[in-house]
Amino acid sequence: MELNQLTIHELHELITKREVSSTQIVQSVFKRIETVEKDIHSYVTLMKERAFAAAADADKRIREGDITPMTGIPVALKDVLCTKGIRTTCGSRILHNYIPPYDATVVEKLKAAGAVFTGKVNMDEFAMGSSTETSCFGITRNPWDLKRIPGGSSGGSAAAVAADECIASLGSDTGGSIRQPAALCGVVGMKPTYGRVSRFGLVAFASSLDQIGPFTKDVEDCAIMMNVIAGYDSRDSTSVPLDVPDYTAFLSRGIDGWTVGIPREYFIEGIDPEVMEAMKSTIAVIEGLGAKCVEISLPHTGYCLAVYYIIAPAEASSNLARYDGVKYGFRAGDGRDLLEMYKKTRSAGFGAEVKRRIMIGTYALSSGYYDAYYKKASQVRGLIKGDFEKAFTQCDVILTPTSPTPAFTIGEKMDDPLQMYLSDIFTISANLAGIPGISVPCGFTRRGLPIGAQFLAGHFEEGKLIQMASAYEKNANLEKRRPNL
């Protein structure tokens, strides 16, 4: 086994025993990047020099005995997280040269914990998409099948972990952008409760839905990453001042006596039969651990997609209004006047999907339509939240497939936005309700593509998700596979 193939906790053990140094781990990761990056294209910007400097610094701290579970561990950052002095593009031409003057809170926290950043990873433009095909820096490929997409929008974060081009990564999830690519790339991905992790320095897509979360190789690593990034931040008024438990304490508690809800509305036509099969075996494993699986109902599930595609574009239309070519980023320089400069800049600076959502959002908010669309959608969002509140009086966690299908082929859904949007049909509800969700690998298709199971819990119950996912992971006896690159 190469160092870059190990988990955070395995590497931490080796570091603590002084058997390997952070520099050796970083070397191993960059060697891997050099070998596979041309096929995968996870990264938009590599931070090689800084990474080795940070590794040397980590090694010094390690020698001094100043070690956290993240010290010296190489981590990749989705290119939507602001990094001081390092280009942050959101995969968009309009920010292709934007260098932030400050670090996002999560970046600060990881830095303080001793993590080493390997680079900024690819994504759908402004996190709008489910396939990482809309980045102005080109597509990212699925390490399990290079003809296929890695999911999205955090496709770079998922692919980099799956291809061992980093040990863990951060992504962002507005409608499934962590969980869906985690499922499609066979890694663990968690979207925390809205308000659990500070969004300060996360370039906003839809501010009432966005949340930052980790991609890791196993559930234990997910708990370790959550321990670092979770917590109140005065710079984000929507973060919640609640104590953060030690998430690693939930790892081996088991789920004996738990009730797992299976929402009947999520087992619908259109789910790939192999995904359905994997779900059945997942239920069997869970029941074998002493938990009871019961059918529950989330009656407003059918409205989730419609509500999401009003609220998210509406918020995006104002969040993206600042990209006008005046202060930073791309500017089309030959406008005759201000209005023409705006039009040319935004026409050339944004890709088709971003423009589509800005237009949907502007329309939904325009006078005369506000009540019919945005206001009604907000009301239905309340009902969807209510569904979950009721459900969690009947069960500890909810189990669903993460994605209705395994990874699809590159270009397959690019001309059909509605088909693309359906790819997030099981993940969107958690963002609308603000609840946490985790995707864990639960098997492979006959073609060798990973399948993910999603667990959902009540607000601030990330501990329960880790307890559930960890128990499942330990007992599922899934075949240990690595992508063949």
Partner 1 sequence: MGYEAVIGLEIHLELNCMTKMFCNCPNLPGDEPNLNTCPICLWFPGAIPQFSHETLEKAVITSLALNCEIQKESAFDQKVYYYPDLPKGFQLSQAHRPLARHGWLDIIGMDGRTRRLRIRHVHMEEDVAKLVHETEGRTPISLVDFNRAGVPLVEIVTEPDMRSPHDAMEFIRALRMQIRYAGSADCSMEAGTMRVDANISIRPEASEVMNTKVEVKNMNSIRHLGDAIAYEMQRQEACVRNGEAIVLHTRLWDPDRRMTTPMRGKFEGPCVPDPSVPAIRLSEEWISEMKSRLPEMPGEKVERFINQYGLSRDEAVMMSSERDLSEYFESVVKENIAPRLASHWVATQLLPLIRERQQNIAESPVTPARLAALLSMLAGEEINTSSAKIVLTQLFERKDSPEAIVQMSGFSQVSDKDELDRLVDRVMADNPSAVEDFRNGQAKALGFLIGRAMQASQGKANPKMIREILTKKLG
The correct pick among 276, 326, 352, 383 for binding partner 1 (CB under 8 A) is 326
Binding mask 93-122 for partner 1 (x = CB under 8 A): --x--x-xxx-x------------------
The correct pick among 33, 40, 90, 425 for binding partner 1 (CB under 8 A) is 90
Rounded to the nearest whole angstrom, what is the least distance from the CB of residue 208 to partner 1 in the complex? 4
Select 88 or 193, whichever has its Cβ closest to partner 1. 88
Select 199 or 300, whichever has its Cβ closest to partner 1. 199
By CB under 8 A, what part of segment 377-396 binds partner 1? 378
Region near partner 1 per CB under 8 A, out of 127-135, 193-201, 258-266, 273-281 = 193-201
By CB under 8 A, what part of segment 205-234 binds partner 1? 206-208, 234
The correct pick among 200, 215, 309, 455 for binding partner 1 (CB under 8 A) is 200
The answer to whether the beta carbons of residues 295 and 63 sit under 8 Å apart is: no
The correct pick among 31, 370, 382, 389 for binding partner 1 (CB under 8 A) is 370
Region near partner 1 per CB under 8 A, out of 48-56, 156-164, 198-206, 285-293 = 198-206
Select 76 or 206, whichever has its Cβ closest to partner 1. 206
Q: Kindly report the CA angle at 469 between 293 and 298, in degrees rounded to 5? A: 45
By CB under 8 A, what part of segment 327-346 binds partner 1? 327-328, 338-339, 342
The residue to which tokens 């296929």 are assigned: 148
The correct pick among 238, 259, 297, 475 for binding partner 1 (CB under 8 A) is 238
Select 14 or 240, whichever has its Cβ closest to partner 1. 240
Rounded to the nearest whole angstrom, what is the least distance from the CB of residue 371 to partner 1 in the complex? 11
The answer to whether the beta carbons of residues 468 and 212 sit under 8 Å apart is: no
Rounded to the nearest whole angstrom, what is the least distance from the CB of residue 317 to partner 1 in the complex? 7
Rounded to the nearest whole angstrom, what is the least distance from the CB of residue 216 to partner 1 in the complex? 23
Select 107 or 168, whichever has its Cβ closest to partner 1. 107
Q: Which residues are catalytic?
A: 78, 153, 177
By CB under 8 A, what part of segment 54-83 binds partner 1? 81-82
Residue 7 lies near partner 1 (rule: CB under 8 A): no
Select 104 or 219, whichever has its Cβ closest to partner 1. 104
- How many positions of this chain bind partner 1 (CB under 8 A)? 47
Q: Which residues of this chain interact with partner 1, rule CB under 8 A?
A: 81-82, 88, 90, 95, 98, 100-102, 104, 199-204, 206-208, 234-238, 314-315, 317-318, 320-324, 326-328, 338-339, 342, 361-362, 365-367, 370, 374, 378
